[in-house]
Chain A
Amino acid sequence: MTTIDPSTADVVLRVTGVTKHYGHVQALRGVDMEVRRGEVVGLVGDNGAGKSTLIGVLSGATTPTEGAVEFEGEPVSLSSPSHARDLGIETVYQDLALALDLPIWANLHLGREQRRPGLLGALGFLDKKAMIASAEEELRTTRIRIGSVDARTSALSGGQRQAIAVARATARGSKLVLMDEPTAALGVEQQHRVGELVRHVADRDVPVILISHNLPQVRELCDRVLVMYRGRIVAELDPAIEGVESMIRWITGAALESER
Chain B
Amino acid sequence: MSAKRLLMGRKQPVETTMMTTLDDAELDRTRRPRTPLQGFGAFLGKGDGDVARVLVLLLIVVVIGLVAPNFISKASWMALSQTATVVALLAIGQTFVIITGGIDLSVGAVMACSAVIGAVVMRELAAGGADPSIAILVGLVTSLGIGSLAGLINGLIITKLRITPFIVTLGMLSVATGSMNLISGGAEIVGLPPQLGSIGNTPLGGWFTVPVLVTILVAVVAGVALSQTRFGLRTFAVGSNQGAARRVGIGVDWHIVRVYVFAGFLAAVAGFLLTSRFVSASTMAGTGMELSSIAAAVIGGASLMGGRGSILGTMVGALIMAALQIGLIIAGVASFWQTIAIGIITVAAVYGDQIRIKYSGERS
A81 interface hit (Cβ, 8 Å): yes
Beyond A124-B225, A203-B13, A237-B4, 20 additional pairs, beta carbon < 8 A: A81-B246, A82-B248, A95-B243, A98-B244, A99-B237, A101-B240, A101-B307, A102-B233, A102-B236, A106-B236, A125-B228, A128-B228, A144-B21, A147-B30, A152-B362, A154-B363, A155-B30, A197-B20, A203-B14, A236-B4
Question: Which of A43-51, A66-74, A110-118 forms contacts with chain B?
Answer: A110-118
What is the chain B residue whose CB lies nearest that of A38?
Answer: B10
What is the chain B residue whose CB lies nearest that of A156?
Answer: B26
Chain B residues proximal to chain A, CB less than 8 Å: 1-11, 13-14, 16, 18-22, 26-27, 29-31, 225, 228-231, 233-234, 236-237, 239-241, 243-250, 306-308, 362-364
Chain B contacts for A3, CB-based, 8 A: 5
The bracket for how many chain A residues form the interface is: 35 or more
The 10 A-B residue pairs whose C-beta atoms are closest, nearest first, are A82-B249, A111-B248, A101-B307, A97-B244, A99-B240, A154-B362, A124-B229, A101-B240, A111-B249, A145-B21
Interface residues in A220-260 (C-beta closer than 8 Å to B): 221-224, 233-238, 240-242, 256, 259
Tally A-B pairs: CB < 8 A.
161
A200 interface hit (Cβ, 8 Å): yes
A123 to B230, CA, bound (A): 9
Least CB distance, A211 to chain B, in whole angstroms: 16
A85 interface hit (Cβ, 8 Å): yes
Among B20, B225, B237, point to the contact of A110 (Cβ < 8 A): B237
A63 interface hit (Cβ, 8 Å): no
A236 to B7, CA, bound (A): 10
Chain A contacts for B243, CB-based, 8 A: 95, 97
Among B4, B18, B237, B362, point to the contact of A196 (Cβ < 8 A): B18
Q: Quick check: A102 and B22 within 8 Å, CB to CB?
A: no
Q: Quick check: A99 and B230 within 8 Å, CB to CB?
A: no
Least CB distance, A251 to chain B, in whole angstroms: 14
Q: Which of B27, B231, B237, B244 has the most CB of A within 10 A?
A: B244
Chain B contacts for A1, CB-based, 8 A: 1, 3
Among B6, B230, B239, point to the contact of A113 (Cβ < 8 A): B230
A235 to B5, CA, bound (A): 8
Q: Quick check: B248 and A81 within 8 Å, CB to CB?
A: yes
Among B10, B19, B240, point to the contact of A102 (Cβ < 8 A): B240
What is the chain A residue whose CB lies nearest that of B99?
Answer: A101
Chain A contacts for B30, CB-based, 8 A: 147-148, 151, 155
